[in-house]
Amino acid sequence: MTKLSVNINKIATLRNARGGDNPNVVKVAMDAECFGAQGITVHPRPDERHIRYQDVLDLSKVVRTEFNIEGYPDHRFMELVRKVKPAQATLVPDPPTAITSNNGWDTISNQSMLKDIVAELHESGVRVSIFINPELKYFEPAKLTGTDRVELYTEPYASNYHKDRDTAVKPYIKVAEVARELGLGLNAGHDLDLQNLAFLKQSIPYLDEVSIGHALVCDTLYYGLENTIQMYRRKLELE
């Protein structure tokens, strides 16, 4: 079964646009779980332009499914993860000014650093996933870091899906097979939506988890949160 982790960053963006606490990110996370989300994902950034560090602490008290904290592993991020001890920490190579995650790790040149970070997170009992491009050269070095999983960066797949979905998914199938041979768990995320999700799942049936935020929140404006989560769940349950 591929789990659906709902990224609630955009809920925090909406709240921050007016100040105050509406919508309340903690309530949205709790409701999302009630409506079928199998995980909650947050990505706090240094400028706290959406999810704030205090949000992460507040959410850690109420999330009952898998809590996934994404981010660049600087001192503040690592301190937060050690304190919260989420089910999973997803390491992304975002610079502080990045609008969104737009590239995976170079696990070759950063292997030593990532190995130390993974070991530190494992000491806290946290499962680790490394955000990675669908390029074969990065997978064996990723395995050598000791990471439990890799998260496939799916923006290239999503961008090319409507042009030629078979061509778009081909490199992902190839690297997914390599990851599986190496014993790495497989997550996926970025620009996945109701149009392209089912085909990715059908092409890589052993995906462990997808993390979806922007498209899911946009769909919620039309369909409502409960209905939207169920729609995404159904896309993942197609055989």
Catalytic residue list: 43, 70, 190
Could you give the 3-state DSSP secondary structure of residue 33?
Answer: helix
Q: What is the dihedral of CA 210, 37, 30, 18, to 10 degrees?
A: 50
Residue 55: Cβ within 10 Å count: 21
> For the chain, how far is it from start to end, CA to CA, in angstroms?
11
Q: In terms of Cα–Cα distance, which of 134, 136, 179 is closest to 156?
A: 134
Inter-CA distances, 114 with 21, 95, 163, Å: 36, 16, 35
* Contact indicator for 200, 207 with CB cutoff of 8 Å: yes
